[in-house]
Amino acid sequence: MAFFARLGDFLWGGPLLAVFLAAGLWYSFATGFFPLFGLPVWWRATVGSLFRRSKGRQEGQGVTQFQALSTALAATIGTGSIAGVAAAIVYGGPGAVFWMWMSALLGMAVGCAEKTLAVRYREKGPDGRWQGGPMQYMAKGLRLPGLAKLFALFCVAETLVGGNLAQANSIATSLSTAGGADRRVVGVVLAAVTALVLAGGIKRIGQLCELLVPAMALLFVGGGLAVIAVHWQAVPGAFRQIISYAFSPRAAAGGYAMGTALRYGVARGVFTNEAGVGMSAIAHACADVDEPAQQGMWGIFEVFFATMVICTVTALVILTSGVYDAAQMLPLAEAGAVPDAMLGAPLTAAGFATLFGEAGEWIVAVSLILFAFTSLIGSGYYGRRGVETLTGSRLAMGLYRLAFPACIILGAVGDLTAVWQLVDVFNGLLLMVNVPALLLLSPEAVYLLRTWTEGQRTARRARRAEQAAPRRERP
């Protein structure tokens, strides 16, 4: 695994950071920093729409917008939100959290473009439901089917690693730590249940995620906010650590360098919200929506919620509860000798335990099970779509359907450090293929966004004029 560690460090140490930041800045400027200045617009189109009923929508063409979002969030706020944030802080220092935030702010514009283009170039599948994603906008928008197949190949590989091994590993580690469960048994049961859900297709996946995602978010965020509230006096210090370590030279107290924080912060941030990676666009393409840019609003919300909310709660729990010390952790991280109890989900669980005791470990364990299980479901669907793009062979699909649960069992008993190294590599490869496609298609994505937002402004002005007009008296 030394090769993958060096490859991941190389990719995220320079090339991918430059590509991701360039794409984020380009889309941010091209859209007039819409995720920031257009917050009222995308908030009304996402959270606000949950309180309005859709009218005139036909059934059978796709899943609802909220189900599409839930499926995408299910695959993004998995172990990256709990184990990934903890790993970023251990290896990159508290400053990694700041660069997670920066990656999210730039990633919101990229995420909007991905989802907009996914709906623009989607198509009907054999079952009559919508399907799409980067493979479609590369093949149909850029007319580069070879690039689409390359993305599909990396997508399949990533779903077997980051969307599978990492999730199964974190579930097994959490249950083993909290309840002494046998990892092999956890892997077998998890593989069987996942295969059963995936057999129901996108409709069943969307319905399940629609139920589980809000529940798991409320459980984890509610418990995390309670821990932070108890340790409220340490909150200002935690923010000072985050800011100071984000820009600190090597000689700073604790020794974490800015480059290290940047590398782990952006890499883990991208893994958490998938902005630029493109896979979550596969779920959004299934949404029953008319306007491409309307689904792009959910892309902005997805990045915001996954990183700015979930990951921030995790980070503040770790930094305020006293379970992490930068000066003591750095030598262990550099020597590759970080104890299992201080890496990944167990570190987050230790923070929860400062308030809830043993129950805190179970809150994290249950949250992680829900997060990672839904992530497995979403990744399994993405992988199948990748196989369909590569080949229509039933044999290939059958092999993938066997390989996916087999990797779940393998991940449950595997080494966590090696898994995260592979995650960085495959996410990097996906980003290298997807971001150039997004840049080439940026004129169309920006045009679709501007056209839709202009329509929204016109509709709002018309409603205000109608409300301001004197009402006609009834005869």
Residue 247 lies inside a defined structural domain of this protein: yes
Tokens of 25: 């800045």
Q: How many C-beta neighbours within 10 Å does residue 341 have?
A: 12
* Domain boundaries, position 113: 2-43+63-455
DSSP 157-225: HHHHIIIIIHHHHHHHHHHHHHH---HHHHHHHHHHHHHHHHTTHHHHHHHHHHHHHHHHHHHHHHHHH
Which tens digits make up the pLDDT trace of 264-281?
A: 777 666 666 777 888 888
Domain membership flag for residue 287: yes
The pTM (predicted TM-score) of the whole model is 0.82
SS3 at position 125? coil
Instruction: Please check whether residue 236 lies inside any domain of the structure.
Output: yes
Q: Are residues 183 and 412 in contact, defined by beta-carbon separation less than 8 angstroms?
A: yes
> Is the confidence at residue 54, as pLDDT, over 60?
no
For CA atoms 104, 109, 114, 119, the dihedral sign is positive
Q: Are 411 and 255 in contact (CB under 8 A)?
A: no
Question: How far is residue 191's CA from residue 392's CA, in Å, rounded to a whole number?
Answer: 24
What's the confidence (pLDDT) of residue 457? 84
| Domain assignment of residue 464, yes or no | no
In this structure, is residue 55 part of a structural domain?
no
How open is the CA angle 140-284-419, to the nearest 5 degrees?
A: 100
Does residue 462 belong to any structural domain of this protein? no
Tally of domains within the chain: 1
What count of other Cβ atoms lies within 10 Å of the Cβ of residue 335?
A: 8
> Residue 384 maps to which CATH number?
1.20.1740
Higher pLDDT, 389 or 331: 389
CA distances to 105, 159, 328, 454 from 37, in Å? 12, 35, 41, 14
When computed from its CA atoms, the radius of gyration of the chain, rounded to whole angstroms, is: 22
- Residue 244 falls inside a structural domain: yes
Contact 293, 449 (CB under 8 A): yes
Return the pLDDT at 33: 92
Rounded-to-integer distance, Cα 372 and Cα 419, Å: 14
Of 257 and 393, which is predicted with more confidence? 393
The pLDDT tens digits of the residues spanning 236-253 come to 999 998 888 888 765 444
pLDDT in tens, 171-230: 787 677 667 778 888 888 888 888 887 877 666 776 777 777 777 778 888 999 999 999
Top pLDDT among 79 and 448 is at 448
Contacts of 361 (CB under 8 A, 6+ apart): 177, 178, 349, 352, 353
Residue 467 lies in a domain: no
pLDDT tens track for 280-315: 889 888 888 888 999 999 889 888 888 888 889 999
At 316-371, the pLDDT tens digits run 999 999 888 877 777 776 666 666 666 677 888 889 989 988 888 788 878 877 77
Residues 430-447: what's their mean pLDDT? 93
Left, alpha or beta for 128 (phi > 0: left; psi -120 to 50: alpha)?
left
